[in-house]
A and B are shown apart, each in its own frame.
Chain A
Amino acid sequence: MYRLVVIGAALCLTFVAACYSGPSGPVVHRTSATEEVDLSGKWNDVDSRLVSQEMMKDLLTKPWIDEAREALKAKPRMVVGRIANKSHDHIPVDTFIKDLERELINSGEVAFLASFSQRDQLEAEKKYQAGAASLETQKAMGRELGADFIMLGQINSIVDQAGDLTMKYFQVELELINIESGEKVWIGQKKIKKVIERAEWD
């Protein structure tokens, strides 16, 4: 009779296993914003932060900056142009650009100008001031500072898959160009390689 009970129990377990559909409800853990969390192998906030930090550190230690300061007799003025996303991930490029700007501005080595997307708003505000603000406080058109250098770049990726393994390789390329002369004064490159192993279900 004991074995009969065991078989019955085994059958019940089989049905329960077949019917069980996993835990319910989301589980949320709070973590530090700087903690490295990589859930899927996709480009994430940590990649954006680390790449911008390393690349800007490299940018600021290269000879172009002393040469520019010498020639301009002031901090070089910079603007970030288009960073094209040519990768396999939907990368929020604006966030990456903000990370680049923050690193550069906080270094105190360069002056930073409004980005392309911000210029429209500046223009709109000046037009508004021209009609609504007092003459003494109005900001005039055509008085903005012109940038000396523009940063352009792209994010590429290569993906290779075999069985349970996926290799993702990101390559970020940034170039700093002298706007007046068109001369490229710095080229930076940063590579990230991620191997994603997809676990089998238990």
Chain B
Amino acid sequence: MRVRVVGMMPSAGIGWLPRTLVLLVSAVTVGCATGIDLDYYRDVDRALAENRSGEAADIVRKAGREIYGERNRLLYHLDLALALQLAGDYHGSAQQFETADTLAADLYTKSLGGEAASLFTNDLAIPYAGEEFERILLNVFNAMNYALLGDSEGALVEVRRIDTKFAAIEAEKGRYGREPLAHYLSGLLFEDAGQLDDAFIAYSDAAAGYAGQSELFEQSVPAQLARDVARLGARLGRDVHPDIAAMAGEYDVLPDGGEIVVLHYFGPGPRKVERSIEMSFGEGFAVVQSMQVDSQDEKEVRQTLSAAKGMISTTQITIAYPVFKQPPLACGRAQVYVDGCTAGVSEPVSNISRTALLNLEDRLGRIWSKIVARAVLKFITARAAGAVGKEASGNEGVGLLVQLFTQAALSATEEADLRGWRTIPAQVQMTRIHCPAGSYRVRVDNMGSASGGNWREFDNVGVSDGRKTFLVSSCF
């Protein structure tokens, strides 16, 4: 917990009645929190870090409604879907992603009732509808499920859904969706299905996406992708952007055979943490204190403190907001060895951590407008309650007590919305290896891990002429 004090709190003693009220308010609000207990995730994180994805899926499944609650149903399906994919249950994972996709579309419609409730309490009053990047990535990861099952028709359904979402984002926000990996994967899937024109367009869109946003996303155009654009462009007689052609450089014409495509998920994914500030209404807004909360314990301490402060000050209200924080990655690179063929090193294809950060920054204006509106509303509500209390009882002390109690209650309900897809990786990398048709043993060495990395082997990986065989490996 980091606390930065930039102002002074009035020092006042707390009597037994206010103390009791603080405890009561804290108990009520902490008890009814509608987020997800951050401690619960420790077991999920540990299972993923130790490559026990099946157990991670079991933990999520067992947690179910009790831990996630109805308002976080989308997160349940997302957390479970990715854990199942990593555990090799691609059918189960696809089913969960399908439910999540439908749910996210339903929830995306703003809730007037929910928005109104969140003004009085916090954003957790609204069912979680997913961040923009999460709604796109769920289709990317689901396309991988179908690709892993060898069902390119199913994978392309997900690709078309991604295109529809990109178009909706463009119409709504005037910018294109930010996930070049979606186009890159589309290109691979179209090429696998023999739809070369579509593949060329998807590869070109992906290359343009990486090139146009390279600084923003700290992600350059993958070398293999540039070669794909140049190779297919030459084959189809299509123009290739000179920058991409230059990036592709000299490349060999691919001999007969197929390709092994390994997607590496590197985690842990980005986490939302809470920052809170206390606003003084004495002489206009003034920041009194800001605080960052990283764990469930710290969150409860912060809420209790806010309630206590609300009990001794008639001019302060606490507001909380989320920021993304990226824990250190367990792995930085992977090396893939295909027995009897060749080896390759992974290259980054998606910086999910950075996308998450930019996504939240996009929403920051809206988040702040809402936070300020909520702070003002809470302050006015507390004042009004105090005035009514005084008028009804004819006693100024009772009025003050009512105002303090209301303020404490409203401060204690202030909680940043830290909800997010927990099992999502921070980075996706890709290794592509061209081999003659046959059956191979593939070994993936994940490097750069604090614990010395990990490795995984895949036996009997089939390669067919002109086709792509997809594999997925993870290091969390």
Which B residues lie within 8 Å of A3 (CB)?
A: 388, 391-392
Distance (whole angstroms) from the CB of A19 to the closest CB of chain B? 3
Q: Are A198 and B109 in contact (CB under 8 A)?
A: yes
B contacts with A: majority SS: helix
Contact of A14 (CB < 8 Å), options: B109, B114, B120, B160: B120
- CB closest residue in chain B, given A42: B102
Q: Are B109 and A7 in contact (CB under 8 A)?
A: no
Q: What is the interface size of chain B, counting residues whose CB is below 8 A from a CB of the partner?
A: 46
A152 to B474, CA, bound (A): 41
A88 to B124, CA, bound (A): 32
Chain B, 25-78, CB within 8 A of any chain A CB = 28-29, 32, 34, 65, 69-71
A85 to B324, CA, bound (A): 39
Q: Are B29 and A4 in contact (CB under 8 A)?
A: no
Contact of B65 (CB < 8 Å), options: A4, A24, A86, A157: A24
Which A residues lie within 8 Å of B69 (CB)?
A: 21
Q: Are A18 and B32 in contact (CB under 8 A)?
A: yes
Q: Is A40 interfacial (CB-CB < 8 Å)?
A: yes
Q: Are B109 and A4 in contact (CB under 8 A)?
A: no
Q: Is B12 interfacial (CB-CB < 8 Å)?
A: no
| A to B contact number (C-beta, < 8 Å) | 95
Contact of A17 (CB < 8 Å), options: B125, B164, B391, B406: B125
Q: Is B197 interfacial (CB-CB < 8 Å)?
A: no
A18 to B409, CA, bound (A): 13
A24 to B69, CA, bound (A): 10
Q: Are A88 and B157 in contact (CB under 8 A)?
A: yes
Which B residues lie within 8 Å of A21 (CB)?
A: 34, 69-71
Q: Are B164 and A201 in contact (CB under 8 A)?
A: no
A15 to B25, CA, bound (A): 10
Q: Are A198 and B105 in contact (CB under 8 A)?
A: yes
B-side interface residues toward A, CB under 8 Å? Answer: 28-29, 32, 34, 65, 69-71, 98, 102, 105-106, 108-114, 117, 120-122, 124-125, 127, 153-154, 156-157, 160-161, 164, 167-168, 171, 385, 388-389, 391-393, 402, 406, 409, 413
A-side interface residues toward B, CB under 8 Å? Answer: 1-4, 7, 11, 14-15, 17-19, 21-24, 40, 42, 84-90, 157, 159, 161-162, 164, 166, 198-202
